Structure 1
Amino acid sequence: MELISGLPEDIARDCLIRVSYQQFPVVASVSKGWNTEIQLPEFHRVRKSTGHAQKILVTVQSEFDSEKCKTGSLVKAMTMTNPVYKLNVLETETGIWGELPMGPELSNGLPLFCQIAGVRFDLVVMGGWAPDSWKASNSVFIYNFLSAKWRRGADMPGGPRTFFSCVSDHQRMIYVVGGHDEEKNALKSAFVYDVASDVWVQLPDMARERDECKAVFCRSVSGSGTIRVVGGYCTEMQGRFERSAEEFDVATWKWGPVEDEFLDDATCPRTCVDGCDVEGIMYMCKGDDVVSFEGNTWQVVAKVPREIRNVACMAAWEGALLLIGSCGFGEPYMGFVLGLKSGVWTKLESPENYTGHVQSGCLLEI
């Protein structure tokens, strides 16, 4: 069966790889041939290699109540009631915002403090606190951009954990590290989740307990890469962050030695991100600065825009950095993009209903 009647297969495929990600569910429903074609790993590879893959930032973001903000009661409302979190999507090239549909099990909102990561056309939502009971969960929910449908994944092993970190290898796996258990004990355990096979595998333990750490996937020439786990703190420290880091080599399945002085200062590492396709580079916010890690040293890249002193998340892609944050608690969240060559910040235009509190975010290329 021809993909497109009257057209050679290569031209038909060239047409399909140009389709916007928002149209994938429609494409999948047209015919079995089209559905099979866009499901192939080769489709994703060619879409990326030809520059047609779209970079989107998915945020765990609360609904923004404009009336409460205008009357000055937003801060009080946030402290007295549970905010409802949803998944919003920012197209980095166009600046257009959208909202993902929520599955039946998430109809009351996302779990508080859940973590998200993307693998190819799947977005994985893990853990968090149930919004109605605040009970910690080890649940896994997966949204597929090709079908626009949700499915339930295998629960995270080891029982519920909170404030862990997760990171994708952008191919198939998601790595989960650290956090704390229901007794507030910091954890040094780690797992890897094969999204396609829906299988969890336990990794060797880290050398240290790391609550509220940040995991970053560092690409390597060989293609296997390493998982760098930055900062966090042990049970006894309770919020006093460490400066150390350690790396897990995917190829050797071993943790390397702890780097005690990896960070210049003991700070929350939540904004740490990899440098997209540039090997060995990391970015993060440190105080008023955006800094980069390259060649075993941290260097200042730019000043954080004054409007977003409270940075919630960062994303990096070729030639650009994106920051989302606010000027203070209860204030609207906004985004700025930094051109790494020009050094110029550009403010993103965000509709009011996309300015609620951002808990976390992740960048996908689909």
Structure 2
Amino acid sequence: MEQLIPGLPDEIGLECLSRLHYTAQPAAARTCRRWLDLLQSRDYYTIRNHLGYTTHMACLLQSLPPPSISPSDEEPKLTNSGLSSPSCVITLFDPVSQIWNRLAPVSDHLPLFCQIASSEGKLVVMGGWDPASYDPVSSVFVYDFITRRWRQGKNMPSKRSFFAIGATKGRVYIAGGHDGNKNALNSAWTYDIRSDEWTELTRMSQERDECEGLIIGDEFWVISGYRTEFQGAFESSAEIYQLRTGEWRRVERAWTPGLSPRSCARLGNDGRLTSWAELDSAVSAEACGLILGAQSLVMGSAHLGASLRFFIGEGQDGKLERIDVPDEFSGFVQSSCCVEV
């Protein structure tokens, strides 16, 4: 077998390739088949992560404003409700370089309110609503940052929306949400990104619609939500799935009752679940945030109807510093995750 880099032992060649910046990896993957196989392998990601060469970036599912239509333009595409079809895009933000980019579109239209998660350098998009019919979908798409290509994943076992999601060690965990008839769910599944297979987990103790998911250590937390017969009555309880044992544990008084946890739930340095909105009055409305290694990206507005603003903070509880964002990347954030590549 040829050496990774001619004239160098493979262990030295691997060390060199592990230092590649993520922006150089797509070009490197086209050099030869062996480099492509290496860069797409779990071992390559593990080595980069262990040596501290990975980069933490924010991946945001954002709403686009409706296009302006002039009399000479074609008629806009209408939904079943008679309104123009809304659209979403996936935005990528590198907090080190402060560069904003858009991922190539996954299809003609991203599902509305789909959920995104990432593990081992892969981005997964699943569920949500068809933007034209508003019907729930079960589609799954996986983006590879090495090849910069999307692939169609195996569909979710059932259609669901507004579910909890989290990802770790090459697996995506989902729980709760509601089905096509707006019935809250207590079922849970895990998706193996590399094998493209779904496995059913044991069920939660109750159904939870519009719950929020967090991966905390070796646990998948499903926070709050409400039952079918109590629409919008967000509960204070949470359920924790132990990844090692496959068992659920219920926790009472884990969340503020009546408060939606969607995109705003976080674990503070004191070990208490709280909302990103509590960090600063500038994000007291529509707050959402995510941890990017040693930093956090927090988004929100001072009050309902105000412009969305973006902030960077040190750690989870550090002071927020506002950052300038180009207008085309300032849309409302429906879902977000940290991508480590």
Q: TM-score range by the shorter chain?
A: 0.7 to 0.9
Secondary structure, counterpart of 2:251 in structure 1: coil
Please tell me whether residue 326 in structure 1 is matched to residue 301 in structure 2: yes
For residues 97 and 3 of structure 2, what CA distance do their matches in structure 1 show?
Answer: 33
Query: Where in structure 2 are the equivalents of 1:102-251 lying within 5 Å?
Result: 102-103=105-106, 106-107=107-108, 109-157=109-157, 159-169=158-168, 171-219=169-217, 225-251=218-244
Query: Which residue of 260, 268, 280 maps to 1:304?
Result: 280
For residues 206 and 342 of structure 1, what CA distance do their matches in structure 2 show?
Answer: 31
For residues 322 and 312 of structure 1, what CA distance do their matches in structure 2 show?
Answer: 11
Indicate conservation of the 8 Å contact 2:58/2:297, yes or no: no
* TM-score normalized with structure 1 length: 0.82
Indicate conservation of the 8 Å contact 2:165/2:213, yes or no: yes
- Counterparts in 2 of 1:196 and 1:242: CA distance versus 1, 3 Å: same
Indicate conservation of the 8 Å contact 2:281/2:302, yes or no: no
CA shift digits 1:193-237 (9 cap, x unpaired): 111111111111100110001121121xxxxx1211110000111
Identity of aligned residues (%): 33
For residues 218 and 342 of structure 1, what CA distance do their matches in structure 2 show?
Answer: 16
Indicate conservation of the 8 Å contact 1:114/1:125, yes or no: yes
User: CA shift at 1:148, angstroms?
Assistant: 0.9
Indicate conservation of the 8 Å contact 1:214/1:269, yes or no: yes
Secondary structure, counterpart of 2:16 in structure 1: helix
Please tell me whether residue 96 in structure 1 is matched to residue 99 in structure 2: yes
For residues 64 and 21 of structure 1, what CA distance do their matches in structure 2 show?
Answer: 31
More off after superposition, 325-334 vs 236-245: 325-334
User: CA shift at 1:176, angstroms?
Assistant: 0.8
More off after superposition, 346-355 vs 328-337: 328-337
Partner in structure 2 of residue 354 of structure 1: 329
For residues 23 and 64 of structure 1, what CA distance do their matches in structure 2 show?
Answer: 33
For these two proteins, the number of residue pairs brought into alignment is: 327
Secondary structure, counterpart of 1:47 in structure 2: helix
Secondary structure, counterpart of 2:45 in structure 1: helix
The runs of 5 or more residues in structure 2 that have no matched partner are: 70-81
Aligned letter for 1:162? Answer: S
For residues 323 and 226 of structure 1, what CA distance do their matches in structure 2 show?
Answer: 23
User: CA shift at 1:102, angstroms?
Assistant: 1.4
Indicate conservation of the 8 Å contact 2:4/2:10, yes or no: yes
Please tell me whether residue 56 in structure 1 is matched to residue 57 in structure 2: yes
For residues 210 and 255 of structure 1, what CA distance do their matches in structure 2 show?
Answer: 14
The runs of 5 or more residues in structure 1 that have no matched partner are: 69-78, 220-224, 290-302
For residues 199 and 139 of structure 1, what CA distance do their matches in structure 2 show?
Answer: 13
Secondary structure, counterpart of 2:334 in structure 1: strand
For residues 24 and 191 of structure 1, what CA distance do their matches in structure 2 show?
Answer: 32
Q: What is the CA RMSD across the aligned residues, in angstroms?
A: 2.5
For residues 48 and 209 of structure 2, what CA distance do their matches in structure 1 show?
Answer: 37
For residues 341 and 207 of structure 1, what CA distance do their matches in structure 2 show?
Answer: 30
Partner in structure 2 of residue 267 of structure 1: 259
User: CA shift at 1:26, angstroms?
Assistant: 1.3
CA shift digits 1:131-186 (9 cap, x unpaired): 122111011111111111111111111x21111111102x1111110001111111
User: CA shift at 1:315, angstroms?
Assistant: 0.9
Indicate conservation of the 8 Å contact 1:332/1:356, yes or no: no
Aligned letter for 2:330? Answer: T
User: CA shift at 1:83, angstroms?
Assistant: 2.6
- Counterparts in 2 of 1:355 and 1:66: CA distance versus 1, 3 Å: farther
Indicate conservation of the 8 Å contact 2:115/2:126, yes or no: yes
Indicate conservation of the 8 Å contact 2:220/2:240, yes or no: yes
For residues 228 and 235 of structure 1, what CA distance do their matches in structure 2 show?
Answer: 20
For residues 305 and 52 of structure 1, what CA distance do their matches in structure 2 show?
Answer: 35
Please tell me whether residue 345 in structure 1 is matched to residue 335 in structure 2: no
User: CA shift at 1:274, angstroms?
Assistant: 5.3
For residues 229 and 142 of structure 2, what CA distance do their matches in structure 1 show?
Answer: 35
- Counterparts in 2 of 1:179 and 1:62: CA distance versus 1, 3 Å: same
For residues 251 and 6 of structure 1, what CA distance do their matches in structure 2 show?
Answer: 43
Indicate conservation of the 8 Å contact 1:95/1:349, yes or no: no
For residues 309 and 347 of structure 1, what CA distance do their matches in structure 2 show?
Answer: 14
Partner in structure 2 of residue 85 of structure 1: 88
Aligned letter for 2:331? Answer: G
Aligned letter for 2:165? Answer: C
User: CA shift at 1:80, angstroms?
Assistant: 5.0
For residues 67 and 93 of structure 1, what CA distance do their matches in structure 2 show?
Answer: 34
For residues 328 and 150 of structure 1, what CA distance do their matches in structure 2 show?
Answer: 37
Indicate conservation of the 8 Å contact 1:326/1:333, yes or no: yes
User: CA shift at 1:285, angstroms?
Assistant: 1.6
